[in-house]
Structure 1
């Protein structure tokens, strides 16, 4: 029996399998409001058999957007636009999650398919960014260091976005503490040079993440919460796997249910070598040493590899991104390749199923 195609339950939410869709920014929202593109983009993965679909990094405040075209959940119009998208995912049997995010010093940038790079000028729709310290990401505008009131505003914004997410029908919430965005910026000594209770020691640098976690679990009681970490900055003197193990334990004690283990993104001078499954050892270490459930992510692009990650107990689930973009029916294909007898092939697609229950007449 395929381990990849066994269910996994967080609190009272059950994912039908362990092959999940990573949050992937589409840079196609208007004033934070998701569009028809988002509906098609996300619903197709549910038809394709995904267990959990986590919608893209969704800003909890306007200044938290990576780009002016990012999706948001800071007002009710955005919530109401997400609702039919979430309903479409759930109707097709997948669990709908959303990644709540604040980009911090990496906000107000041009989207990746724009002709320009770096920060969007203030007179062209950009805004002043915020961060733990007034240290710019390489090539970006210098941010303003958050004061205590600003930090309180961030915590409140995450809580309010969590409430709106649940009202929109999302069943799982993910906190984005990775890839060099605001929560990660507070965690890493390379971007956090504060001398107050939010800087210095690991306990202090983790304070904002844990406050946000507390606020979100209070705002959405009973809803499973995933925390995404970059397990290492891939840079000398930065955040590393040992720090991740410690803070993952603290987060689990505060109510986090699961951990999404990625890496990098904090600094431009990171040094890493990528390849299929290059982040799996990080996920395995966090799982083993922190004693928490995790998913692995990063170039896990074929069914046999994903199955092996679960069977070897390196992770409890696998998230993929680009492979879902290449094939929105990745899970259906993987089930066929692994010989997993799943019962959620769409009836409309049964004639393509390479096992029983296909139409005897492919011309009909």
Structure 2
């Protein structure tokens, strides 16, 4: 019988339990994209709190990415030292750490020095190759810094998510036409990273569906995941647009992307990670033992209780205290409103 506390090895990643801190937006970084002291403290608290693996918050691969403020980056070598400091601290707590490599939007620098957001339809082939190289170069920096792996962020309406979606990509070349063309950028990024950083565990995060009219469907997402599995990707984390749903009730509507993830896990040998609405040990272990899903990732519960996994391991099995109010989206630095009010 599988438990959330099992030590597991999924391809290149050996971890002390099945729980991952899913990438969580923090928005604390200065303009240079480095880790400020307050963000070190966030990761230290998470590492001490008992999770087996941490996936960093959105880490941009491009200096020009202006999609929002406060993003950490691995877009140039100057950012390696602060990333290395975080890694060493996390490893000191026997926790593995993966850098989520992402792009909010493709901001093209024009000949007159101006910068503009360019969506998939307007990108040249050279623009696309540049993005692929940005992901590859960021992965090299991640390896040099000491990360255990990287995650290609293809979800949540960010650049890669839009590129693979039929709502945004109407290209008629090799990077469009159909789902196989739209997914080519993901395949090219994976192959480029695996060639230059073979020691890294390479994961991918993807929407099971865009949940919008004309968007990426579950059937298309399944095809993309199957193709990435054939290439040899090390793990796939299943999410979806509108990931942080409110009104989660223990034992009622937890694991809300679970049906797709379970179906995917039956169809591929690649380890599947499920995020979304996990609140209780009972339901998490039900998922693990009734499906082939290997690992579970959580976000909002750890914003309120960074030490949740240690609490559960100590024998206090009460569900997470997160009430899924999503107020953390509107607080400074993505903090739990109950913690800020001293109501821990």
Please say whether Structure 1 and Structure 2 have the same fold, judged by a TM-score greater than 0.5. Answer: yes
Equivalent residue, structure 2, for 1:36: 37
CA distance in 1, matches of 2:242, 2:160: 12
State how many pairs are aligned: 306
Larger radius of gyration: 1
TM-score (norm 1): 0.79
Q: Deviations over 1:203-260 (max 9, x none)?
A: 1111111001111111211311111010101123221221122111211222211000
1:276-355 equivalent positions in 2, closer than 5 A: 276-313=254-291, 315-337=293-315
Does residue 22 in structure 1 map to residue 22 in structure 2? yes
Q: Is the 8 A contact 2:10 2:271 kept in 1?
A: no
CA distance in 2, matches of 1:329, 1:174: 24
Unaligned runs of 5+ in 1: 109-125, 134-144, 340-364
CA distance in 2, matches of 1:67, 1:27: 8
Equivalent residue, structure 1, for 2:118: 130
CA distance in 2, matches of 1:64, 1:290: 34
Q: Is the 8 A contact 2:208 2:239 kept in 1?
A: yes
Q: Which runs of 4+ in 1 moved over 4 A?
A: 271-275
Change (3 A) 1:332 1:215: same
Q: Is the 8 A contact 1:245 1:290 kept in 2?
A: no
Unaligned runs of 5+ in 2: 109-113, 318-344
Q: Deviations over 1:159-209 (max 9, x none)?
A: 110010111111011000101111111211011111111111111111111
Does residue 204 in structure 1 map to residue 192 in structure 2? no
CA distance in 2, matches of 1:55, 1:156: 21
TM-score (norm 2): 0.83
- Cα deviation, residue 283, structure 1: 1.2
Change (3 A) 1:65 1:276: farther
- Cα deviation, residue 154, structure 1: 0.3
CA distance in 2, matches of 1:65, 1:175: 19
Q: Is the 8 A contact 1:175 1:225 kept in 2?
A: yes
- Cα deviation, residue 338, structure 1: 7.6
CA RMSD of aligned residues (A): 2.3
Q: Is the 8 A contact 2:55 2:97 kept in 1?
A: yes
Equivalent residue, structure 2, for 1:96: 97
Q: Deviations over 1:79-111 (max 9, x none)?
A: 111111110000001001110001127x89xxx
Q: Is the 8 A contact 2:12 2:234 kept in 1?
A: no
Q: Is the 8 A contact 1:248 1:292 kept in 2?
A: no
- Cα deviation, residue 38, structure 1: 1.8
Change (3 A) 1:207 1:2: closer
SS in 1 for 2:9: strand
Equivalent residue, structure 1, for 2:5: 5
